Homo-oligomer: A and B are copies of this chain.
Amino acid sequence: MRTHYCGQLNASLIDQTVTLCGWAHRRRDHGGVIFIDLRDRAGLAQVVCDPDRAEMFALAESVRNEFVLRVTGKVRHRPAGTVNANLASGEIEILCHELEILNPAVTPPFSLDDDNLSENVRLTHRVIDLRRPQMQKNLMLRYRTTMAFRRFLDANGFIDIETPMLTKSTPEGARDYLVPSRVQPGQFFALPQSPQLFKQLLMVAGFDRYYQIVKCFRDEDLRADRQPEFTQVDIETSFMDEQQIMALMEAMIRTVFEETLAVELPNPFPRMSYAEAMQRYGSDKPDLRVTLELVDVTDAVADVAFKVFSGPASSGGRVAALRIPNGASLTRSEIDGYAEFVKIYGAKGLAYIKVNDASKLNEEGLQSPIVKNLHAAALKAIVERTGAQSGDLIFFGADKTKIVNDAIGALRIKLGHEKGYLNGKAWEPLWVVDFPMFEYDEEGKRWNACHHPFTAPKAGHEDFLATDPGRCLAKAYDLALNGSEIGGGSVRIHREEVQSKVFRALGIGAEEARLKFGFLLDALKYGAPPHGGLAFGLDRIVTMMTGAESIRDVIAFPKTQRAQCLLTDAPSPVDEKQLRELHIRLRQKVETQVEVGKS
């Protein structure tokens, strides 16, 4: 029906007759002439309707915003002085010869130019919201990103193999979405949290290199950057070790950024051990754009009079200092704000020292009520290790290690971005490696897998599985970008006896392992190749690429934080007949409202 997209028109088409289809983005009447900005997915074009074509002009007068139009006309230069440099088609306009109203439109619920809409309004009227140029750009970029992934993977011999959506519930990890079976009464499918086991089975089956851009599901209470269904770029390969996998995967990310954003990422990506990342940044996905660093002073304050420090320092906790260059200029209320902020992470307070004179390691040079309770050696260590200069400020975290890392790590990010302690780079990728295999669950008195139970132990660490699980490191790697984890993976266990040892370390007995993972253990016995892989969070990567505030801005039809679709009103009640067919009933006394997280 058209010859061109609106946004494609330019001066090279002068004097040509074109036909466009699109939406009346704006109509203006000016000097007896009607101007219609016609919009399609490629952009805007200005259509000029002269009154000398009376019938067409009468029709143009009836056009309102969002009418669907078909316009045929001649491309001409805009009059001098009316060129719009912001538009691709800003040099030209179309003198309308024929106008057809393909569909009228009622007045939309909001203007597409309104940038202050509540998310509820946007999601309720998602179809209109998706017309906004930013949303069009976001979803186009998402598409170009997925195609860049596919092209790279295809060129490297990876093949897309679909894995089941209706699969088996394995209640470790996050909560499953369940699907009642009609044919097998009382039984349920689960929607996959990831195709992890299937992709490993595909390696055992000999497909060598697998990928899939695939929906995954987690029924968890939603944070800002989570959705009940999300999309992974899921990858697995055989006969490559972790170094080769990381090298190939970072080449892919570089290619994707180059092709979609024309951004050149570093080559190679830097790598850092988990231990170092926690030590220096309090995070396993440090934002390297922020120049501030945590400095450990635990050993130096183990015996000071100040119990807030010596308590944790002498009982397995951590005391970390965060030097803020020129931070002495922070106001009292700013500092109070940060002290409030760290409480979110469980910190009980936020001690600090203003460095008035770095050469005087006493209450004269170091301004803080805590200084008198720190001995000279401690003060010396603090100033030396942080490299504090006169005019700086030093924040402290002192608590259990996890609380210190979470709180001071988060403070580092917040303060770094708010106050501009940044290295000026737009993109800072980082591989974090040498993760521990297990973390201890104090409540459950058991070891949990840090990554997942199919991750291989680091070479030489296999014996720790039985003797000292806490010391056992994993062949796992996460890719952090600007402080977000955008991907993660590992080399997997390919020998059945190692997999059984890991299950034992996790307290999963032989019988339970057979029941839940029998098909995996069998597969490992039938000739499993060495293999490993990775999954990237597509929604998050595209969110970062577009600079969107929320992953909901890069998903066409997202759910709210209460996991609802405001557009279609899902979930919704269903017929009793449907439930009967599925052999389930609602619980007798269903409260009509429950708080998220309490159910």
Contacts and interface: CB of A to CB of B under 8 A. Distances in A.
Interface of A: 1-2, 5, 21-23, 39-41, 66-68, 70, 102-106, 108, 126-128, 130-131, 136, 139-140, 142-143, 146-147, 150, 154, 159-169, 171, 175-191, 197-198, 201-202, 204-208, 215, 217, 219, 228-229, 231, 238-241, 244, 494-495, 519, 522-523, 525-530, 555-557, 559, 562-565, 567-575, 578, 580-587, 590-592, 594, 596, 599
A219 B189 CA distance: 12
The DSSP consensus for interface residues of chain A is loop
Contacts of A142: 161
A591 B570 CA distance: 31
Contact of A187 (B2, B529, B571): B571
B599 A583 contact: yes
Contact of A1 (B186, B239, B555): B239
B556 A162 contact: yes
Given A166-B570, A583-B599, 19 more contacts: A1-B240, A5-B208, A40-B206, A41-B207, A66-B526, A139-B159, A163-B557, A164-B557, A165-B165, A165-B215, A166-B571, A175-B581, A178-B179, A178-B582, A185-B590, A186-B590, A190-B570, A583-B587, A585-B587
A104 B1 contact: no
B176 A177 contact: no
B166 A177 contact: yes
Nearest to A42: B208
Nearest to A70: B239
The 7 A-B pairs of least Cβ separation, nearest first, read A105-B527, A130-B205, A168-B570, A187-B571, A181-B571, A66-B527, A1-B239
Nearest to A518: B569
Contact of A127 (B70, B103, B495, B526): B526
A178 B570 CA distance: 11
B178 A180 contact: yes
Given A575-B171, A599-B583, A143 B166 contact: no
A117 B519 CA distance: 19
A139 B21 CA distance: 41
Contacts of A494: 102-103
A195 B493 CA distance: 38
Given A130-B206, A187-B572, A1 B530 contact: yes
A564 B215 contact: no
B21 A169 contact: no
Contacts of A162: 215, 231, 555-556
A139 to B, nearest CB: 6
B584 A584 contact: yes
B161 A68 contact: no
B182 A219 contact: yes
6 contacts: A5-B208, A70-B239, A163-B557, A168-B565, A168-B568, A169-B574
B583 A167 contact: no
B68 A106 contact: no
Nearest to A527: B105
A185 B530 contact: no
A229 B557 contact: no
Contacts of A574: 169, 171, 176, 178, 187-188, 190
Contact of A146 (B128, B160, B229, B565): B160
Contacts of A228: 166
A572 B433 CA distance: 36
Contact of A108 (B5, B160, B526): B526
Nearest to A563: B183
Given A527-B68, A555-B162, A583 B572 contact: no
A531 to B, nearest CB: 10
Contacts of A556: 161-163, 198, 202
A596 B241 contact: no
A212 B481 CA distance: 28
B599 A183 contact: yes
A388 B572 CA distance: 61
B167 A568 contact: yes
B163 A573 contact: no
A103 B528 contact: yes
A154 to B, nearest CB: 6
B169 A572 contact: yes
A526 B136 CA distance: 17
Contact of A188 (B128, B171, B215, B573): B573
Contacts of A573: 186-188
A585 B585 contact: yes
Nearest to A22: B206
A130 B67 contact: no
B39 A206 contact: yes
Nearest to A597: B183
A229 B164 contact: yes
A446 B150 CA distance: 47
B178 A40 contact: no
A182 B186 contact: no
Contact of A21 (B176, B180, B239, B599): B239
A586 B583 contact: yes
B583 A584 contact: no
A27 B202 CA distance: 24
Tell me which of A2, A127, A568 has the highest count of chain B C-beta atoms within 10 A of its own C-beta: A127
A109 B519 CA distance: 13
